[in-house]
A and B are shown apart, each in its own frame.
Chain A
């Protein structure tokens, strides 16, 4: 999408997409806090540069698989606010007709094969999509998003092994936000995180997940190589989730300090830092960026109001779609 990175449009597109994710999540959090949303949800706030940097290097035909913390991936891959909020609220007009909810949003038209509520559960799906691409000669790439918590799952290593054996065009994107649920990554993952995929002979890269340009540059290069048959690849993206494991995880000082959270928010924020860069490099002005943010916040608010007023699924939906028709 953004082959020419000096192109102002592609920079602003990345800014816009990061802001869209944050605006979406702020509204989703409010829906939870005001008890308007059924169930729980997992905030992507803080990790925006990962989803945007990667998805802006993909075409709509390229596939992604997402996680329980999946709103960011979904927005970054091109989803629409209204259908997403409708899904979060269990409404008929949602991406999955209200049957999937926050943890299962899929948007197959934009290549999002779905969020997954099983940690690491989509490693097979992403790898299988890459097998399809290779078998059908489609030159498409798939990206498997997963968190550091998924490094504990055997499925990931089984599929990495096969992807390497069969040279599949898949990129394993490990978002290390430092915590699997309420436990520090170093308490759950022994040894070197980078050594895991390397063990299969998979070329592995580490990148600052708060730096959208760094993520995008690296991903563009890897996507191009994967299309030529050089895959698979592994990327370790160092990032941070501002919220708790889920929206109800409010008192979290027993596993991480407020100072640590504050440090990431104040010094490592992907949107603030990218805004500064855009202004410093005279690609944009703070006024222009502010007006983009305001417009997006307005869009998000409108979409929420739309979704709150949207229709529930008809009761007849309950046993519809158990099986696909033949």
Chain B
């Protein structure tokens, strides 16, 4: 099968959907000729024109709000938020307006929009361009949240997001844009709320999102050398969350570690660990463990920054501690 980059997969998903549906537009900073700073949207303006690929001023709340109104009245906007850190700027439009409109109107109005943004540290971009803020939006009822972990997921989840009649936030790991993976030429979609078991195992369940999926797989490989069988699961969407697949896995392995690049305090790892404790407690042989980003602003200095993000080695070590009863 052909291999394409994560960035190309996102681009392809958007282009395919835009060919099918005239109502889809893209709004954001430098999305047209520049194709975004990460060049993910290159070529789209040439095919679809500036009427549909719209460069906006640097006004994140403004263009997000305009997308909400456009979505309520018949368009299907894809908002490009250049960095996930800018979510703090658009919280009212995303969480008070987009997320609540369908409910507050008793189902009369809907907001079919996609907000694609990114996450991920270790790019030496410091505290305001490195955060992984998925927990912030996953907390809000009315928003769906997808976290693709490879080019394959990026394409399938983006296409599903565009067709969804609700506001969907997609977090792309900005360090993954050049990573290649097998992506079929034929059309496919990935349903929301369906986790992917990347690697079956019997001793421990590693639940990892986005950037952490690769780390969990690397750990599973080195663990296999020690005859430890780790099951690696990627939830793919954290809202909705495929609880069944996660719980069934933990019931089987009786051990679990949850890994996500967002801060650990009140984060995705906390939520998933809590659900496991609520629904699989009596199957557990050890406390559920969490590995998230350190609860510090992301530091600039590389030697400091690298300490803040969970690594394959840390996952490996934690698995050994759990299985040896040292937790």
Whether chains A and B associate is: yes
Q: How far is the CA of A291 from the CA of B73 in the complex (A)?
A: 39
B 59-77 to A, binary, CB cutoff 8 A, 1 in contact else 0: 1011111111111111101
Asked if residues B105 and A124 are in contact (CB atoms below 8 Å), the reply is: no
Does A263 have its Cβ within 8 Å of any Cβ on chain B?
A: no
Q: Which of B65, B77, B111 has the most CB of A within 10 A?
A: B65
Stretch of A4-12, A40-48, A152-160 that contacts chain B = A152-160
Q: How far is the CA of A320 from the CA of B141 in the complex (A)?
A: 12
Which residues of A306-326 are within 8 A (CB) of B? 320-326
Does B164 have its Cβ within 8 Å of any Cβ on chain A?
A: yes
Q: How far is the CA of A126 from the CA of B112 in the complex (A)?
A: 16
B311 cross-chain contacts in A, Cβ below 8 A: none
A108 cross-chain contacts in B, Cβ below 8 A: 105, 108-109
Does A231 have its Cβ within 8 Å of any Cβ on chain B?
A: no
Asked if residues B62 and A162 are in contact (CB atoms below 8 Å), the reply is: yes
Does A128 have its Cβ within 8 Å of any Cβ on chain B?
A: yes
Asked if residues A131 and B75 are in contact (CB atoms below 8 Å), the reply is: yes
In the complex formed, the residue of A with least CB distance to B89 is: A154
Which residues of A276-322 are within 8 A (CB) of B? 320-322
Stretch of A51-59, A95-103, A236-244, A246-254 that contacts chain B = A95-103
Asked if residues B75 and A106 are in contact (CB atoms below 8 Å), the reply is: no
Which residues of A91-139 are within 8 A (CB) of B? 94-100, 104, 106, 108, 113-114, 116, 118, 121-133, 135-136
Does B106 have its Cβ within 8 Å of any Cβ on chain A?
A: yes
Asked if residues B63 and A114 are in contact (CB atoms below 8 Å), the reply is: no
Q: How far is the CA of A136 from the CA of B25 in the complex (A)?
A: 12
A132 cross-chain contacts in B, Cβ below 8 A: 69-70, 73-75
Known: A106-B105, A326-B163, A326-B164. A113 touches B72 (CB 8 A): yes
Asked if residues B104 and A124 are in contact (CB atoms below 8 Å), the reply is: no
Stretch of B36-44, B90-98, B118-126 that contacts chain A = B90-98
Asked if residues B106 and A113 are in contact (CB atoms below 8 Å), the reply is: no
Does A22 have its Cβ within 8 Å of any Cβ on chain B?
A: no
Asked if residues A324 and B102 are in contact (CB atoms below 8 Å), the reply is: yes
A126 cross-chain contacts in B, Cβ below 8 A: 69
In the complex formed, the residue of A with least CB distance to B72 is: A113
What is the distance, in angstroms, from A155's C-beta to the closest C-beta of chain B? Answer: 5
A95 cross-chain contacts in B, Cβ below 8 A: 105-106, 108
Does B200 have its Cβ within 8 Å of any Cβ on chain A?
A: no
Does A2 have its Cβ within 8 Å of any Cβ on chain B?
A: no
Q: How far is the CA of A159 from the CA of B65 in the complex (A)?
A: 8
B104 cross-chain contacts in A, Cβ below 8 A: 96, 99-100, 104, 106, 114
What is the distance, in angstroms, from A314's C-beta to the closest C-beta of chain B? Answer: 13
Partner of A129, one of B73, B107, B112, B142: B73
Asked if residues B107 and A155 are in contact (CB atoms below 8 Å), the reply is: no
Asked if residues B73 and A114 are in contact (CB atoms below 8 Å), the reply is: no
Asked if residues A128 and B73 are in contact (CB atoms below 8 Å), the reply is: yes
Known: A128-B69, A128-B70, A323-B142. A158 touches B105 (CB 8 A): no
Partner of A96, one of B57, B93, B106: B106
Does A27 have its Cβ within 8 Å of any Cβ on chain B?
A: no
In the complex formed, the residue of B with least CB distance to A95 is: B106
What is the distance, in angstroms, from B204's C-beta to the closest C-beta of chain A? Answer: 34
In this complex, how many residues of chain B approach chain A with their Cβ under 8 Å: the count is: 46
User: For chain A, which range describes its interface: under 10, 10 to 19, 20 to 34, or 35 or more residues?
Assistant: 35 or more
Does A188 have its Cβ within 8 Å of any Cβ on chain B?
A: no
Asked if residues B166 and A324 are in contact (CB atoms below 8 Å), the reply is: yes
Asked if residues B68 and A125 are in contact (CB atoms below 8 Å), the reply is: yes
Q: Which of A94, A106, A125 has the most CB of B within 10 A?
A: A125
Asked if residues B102 and A136 are in contact (CB atoms below 8 Å), the reply is: no
Asked if residues B103 and A162 are in contact (CB atoms below 8 Å), the reply is: no
Q: How far is the CA of A96 from the CA of B92 in the complex (A)?
A: 21
Partner of A161, one of B62, B77, B97, B103: B62
What is the distance, in angstroms, from A114's C-beta to the closest C-beta of chain B? Answer: 6
What is the distance, in angstroms, from B117's C-beta to the closest C-beta of chain A? Answer: 17
Asked if residues A323 and B102 are in contact (CB atoms below 8 Å), the reply is: yes
What is the distance, in angstroms, from B35's C-beta to the closest C-beta of chain A? Answer: 20
What is the distance, in angstroms, from B105's C-beta to the closest C-beta of chain A? Answer: 4
Q: How far is the CA of A20 from the CA of B101 in the complex (A)?
A: 27
Does B56 have its Cβ within 8 Å of any Cβ on chain A?
A: yes
Q: How far is the CA of A121 from the CA of B99 in the complex (A)?
A: 13
Asked if residues A128 and B71 are in contact (CB atoms below 8 Å), the reply is: yes
Asked if residues B106 and A129 are in contact (CB atoms below 8 Å), the reply is: no
Asked if residues B64 and A114 are in contact (CB atoms below 8 Å), the reply is: no
In the complex formed, the residue of B with least CB distance to A320 is: B107
Does B144 have its Cβ within 8 Å of any Cβ on chain A?
A: yes
Q: How far is the CA of A127 from the CA of B65 in the complex (A)?
A: 8
Asked if residues A131 and B69 are in contact (CB atoms below 8 Å), the reply is: yes
Asked if residues B69 and A127 are in contact (CB atoms below 8 Å), the reply is: yes
Q: How far is the CA of A320 from the CA of B163 in the complex (A)?
A: 21
Q: How far is the CA of A253 from the CA of B142 in the complex (A)?
A: 42
Known: A96-B108, A114-B104, A326-B163. A124 touches B69 (CB 8 A): yes
- 7 nearest CB pairs, A to B: A124-B65, A128-B69, A158-B62, A97-B106, A125-B69, A158-B59, A96-B106
Q: Which residues of A come within 8 Å of B, CB atoms?
A: 63, 65, 94-100, 104, 106, 108, 113-114, 116, 118, 121-133, 135-136, 142, 154-155, 158-159, 161-162, 165-166, 320-326
12 residue pairs A–B, Cβ–Cβ below 8 Å? A113-B109, A124-B97, A125-B69, A128-B70, A129-B70, A132-B70, A135-B25, A136-B74, A162-B63, A321-B106, A324-B110, A324-B112
Additional 7 contacts, C-beta under 8 A, given A128-B75, A129-B72, A326-B163: A65-B69, A95-B108, A108-B105, A108-B108, A113-B72, A127-B66, A324-B110
Q: Which residues of B come within 8 Å of A, CB atoms?
A: 23, 25, 51, 54, 56-57, 59, 61-75, 77, 92-93, 96-97, 101-112, 141-142, 144, 163-166
